[in-house]
Amino acid sequence: MTAVSGAEGYRERIGTALAGSWRFAGLHATAGGTAVRVLLAAPDGSTRLESVAAERATAPSIVDLVPAAAWDEREAHDLQGVAFAGHDPLRPLVDHDPDLGRWTVPVRGHDPYEVAVGPIHAGVIESGHFRFHVVGDRILHLDIRLFYKHRGLERAAEGATLEQGMAYVGRACAACTVANGVAYAHACEEALGLRPTAELRRARTILLELERIWSHLNDIAAVCAGVGLAAGNTRFAALTERARRLNAALTGHRFLFRTVAVAGSALALGPDELRAAREELTALREEAASGWRELAFNASFQDRLPEIGVVAAAAARRLGTTGPAARAAGVREDVRAASPRLAYDGFVAVVPERATGDVQARFEQRALELWQSFTLLDALLEHPLGPAVAERSDAERELGVGRVESPRGATSCVVERRGDRIERLRLRTGSYASWPAVAHAAADDLLPDFPLINKSFELCYACTDR
C-alpha cells in the first residue's frame, strides 16, 4: 500500500529516504499544477508518494538531491506549468523551443561543431532529434530532444473511466503495451482496494514474459544491425517474427494488444495451446542459443562491442538508469524480484559476469534475461489458464501506484481518481528513465559508434513521448 505524505519538509523527507534504501521512481504535477508528487520505491517493492503544494505555480526542485528527476521537472513545467525553484536553467523538454541556446548545453573550446541528426532517421526508426557536439569524430556532448511523438495521451485520458484509461496506456507504446498496461492495472487496483488472485497474477506474468521474449530477441537483432552484421540480424529477426506469431496464436494479437484489463483477465489457455506454446518456446530457445553461440565466436563482430557506450554503476544510479542498461553495469535491481502482485516468487535478478556497463555488457544482459524468461514461461505455462479476476482486499482510496519491470526497465504508473474517473494519470516508463544514460554513454565515444550505442539500449521513443 503506497504511503502518502504531504506536510512540511518535502525536500528533507526525500533526502532522508534516498540516503536510505529508497529510490526515485518518478515525479509529476497534479492536474492543474497545484501540487507536485514524488514517487519513491524500496527494494522490497513498497512505494510511497511525497507531495508538496505548488504555491504561485512554483515548487521546490529536488534535482540537486536526485539528478534523475531532471526530465520529470522539465516535463511538469512544460505540461502543467509548474516552475521549480532551484532548477536552473529549467530547459524545455516537451516544448520545442526553436532557440538552440534554450535547450542545448553550451560547448566551447577549440574547434567544436554540431552534427544535427533527426527527427527523421535513415532507417526504420522512431522520430527524435540528436544534436552532437563533436571535435572531429569525438563526441564531447550529446543533447537529445525527444517528444516529437507527444500525443498528449495522459491529458486525453483525464476524465475517462478507469476502464477506458487502459486504451490510452496500451496505445502509448506497442513494444511495452503489456508492461504499461499491467502497471496501470496495478495502480487502478490499488486505488480500488483490489488484489489480483493467483490465476490473474499468472496470466499477467505470462503476458509480461511473452513481451520480454520478442523484445529481447528484437534487441539482439538490432545490435547486429547496428554493426552491419546481416547474418546475425536476419537470424534474430526471424526469431522475433516467430515469437510474435506465438503471441498471436496464444492471444490473437502479435503485440498482445488488449490482453490486459483492470481487475481481470479474459486470457484462457487450454492444454493443447499450452503444449504447442511450450514446444515452440523450447524450439525458439534452442535456435536463439545456437544463434548466440555463433555471435559469441564471431571475432570481428565481438571486437566492436567492448569499452564503448559505457554507463558505469555510479552513473547509472545517479541518472536513474533502469532495466537491462542498469543491470549490465552491475546494479542488481529488477522490479520482478519484489512483485507480490505478479507470479515471480523466488525471482533473482541476473547481471553479467563482466558488468562494465558497455555495449557488450548490455548485449550479454539481453541474452541472460532471455534464458531466464524462457525458463519462467515454461513453468508458468505448465497448467491450463482460465479467466481470472481481482478480489477485494483493502479500503478504496483516491490514488494508486503500479510498478512493473518492462523489457526496458522499471515502469511506474500513478493514477489519481475522482470516483470512477481518472483525474491524473502518469506513466513513467523504463525508456523514459534511461534516455539520459544514452547521452551519457555517447560522450567521449566516436560519432560513427553512436548507432551501435543507441541500439544497445534500444529504448522506445513512443512511451517516452506519450
Partner 1 sequence: MLTLLRDLRRLRSGLALPRPERPGSLAIRHVDAGSCNGCEHELVLTSSPHYDLQRFGLGLVASPRHADVLLVTGTVTTRMREPLLTAYRAMPEPRRVAALGDCALGCHPLGTASELVGPVDALFPVDLRIPGCPPTPDAIAAALLELLDRPAGRRLGRT
| Chain residues in the site for partner 1 (CB under 8 A) | 96, 119-120, 122-127, 147-153, 155-156, 167-168, 171-175, 177, 218, 234, 237-238, 240-241, 244, 254-255, 257, 460-463
Nearer to partner 1, 218 or 265 (CB): 218
Nearer to partner 1, 121 or 304 (CB): 121
The Cα 353–Cα 361 span in angstroms is: 9
| Helix or strand (DSSP H, E) at 422 | strand 421-428
Least distance from partner 1 to the Cβ atom of residue 81, Å = 14
Residue of 429, 444, 363 lying closest to 153 (CA atoms): 429
Least distance from partner 1 to the Cβ atom of residue 351, Å = 27
Least distance from partner 1 to the Cβ atom of residue 253, Å = 9
CB under 8 Å to 54, separation ≥6 — which residues?
29, 33, 34, 35, 36, 82
Least distance from partner 1 to the Cβ atom of residue 429, Å = 12
| Helix or strand (DSSP H, E) at 424 | strand 421-428
Nearer to partner 1, 177 or 372 (CB): 177
Least distance from partner 1 to the Cβ atom of residue 115, Å = 16
Nearer to partner 1, 47 or 434 (CB): 434
The Cα 274–Cα 162 span in angstroms is: 32
Nearer to partner 1, 183 or 462 (CB): 462
For residue 119, cis peptide bond before it (omega within 30 degrees of 0): yes
Least distance from partner 1 to the Cβ atom of residue 129, Å = 9
CB under 8 Å to 375, separation ≥6 — which residues?
none
The Cα 148–Cα 462 span in angstroms is: 9
Which set of grid coordinates corresponds to residue 71? 526530465
The Cα 134–Cα 181 span in angstroms is: 40
Least distance from partner 1 to the Cβ atom of residue 428, Å = 17
Which set of grid coordinates corresponds to residue 412? 511506474
Residue of 214, 184, 442, 189 lying closest to 319 (CA atoms): 442
Nearer to partner 1, 151 or 421 (CB): 151
349, 336 in Cβ contact below 8 A? yes
3-class SS of residue 396: coil
Nearer to partner 1, 142 or 153 (CB): 153
Least distance from partner 1 to the Cβ atom of residue 166, Å = 11
Least distance from partner 1 to the Cβ atom of residue 318, Å = 28
Nearer to partner 1, 165 or 357 (CB): 165
Nearer to partner 1, 130 or 461 (CB): 461
With vertex at residue 114, the alpha carbon angle to CA 87 and CA 310, rounded to the nearest 5 degrees, is: 70
Nearer to partner 1, 175 or 368 (CB): 175
Least distance from partner 1 to the Cβ atom of residue 120, Å = 6
Least distance from partner 1 to the Cβ atom of residue 460, Å = 6
Q: How far is CA 259 from the centre of its chain?
A: 19
DSSP conformation letters of 103-163 = HS----SSS-EEEEE-SS-SSS----EEEEEEETTEEEEEEEE--TT---HHHHHTTSBHH
The Cα 183–Cα 169 span in angstroms is: 9
Reduced 3-state DSSP string for 291-329: HHHHHHCCHHHHCCCCCCCCCCHHHHHHHCCCCHHHHCC
How many other β-carbons are positioned within 10 Å of the β-carbon of residue 110? Answer: 5
Per DSSP bridges, beta strands 194-196 and 388-392 are: antiparallel
Nearer to partner 1, 115 or 174 (CB): 174
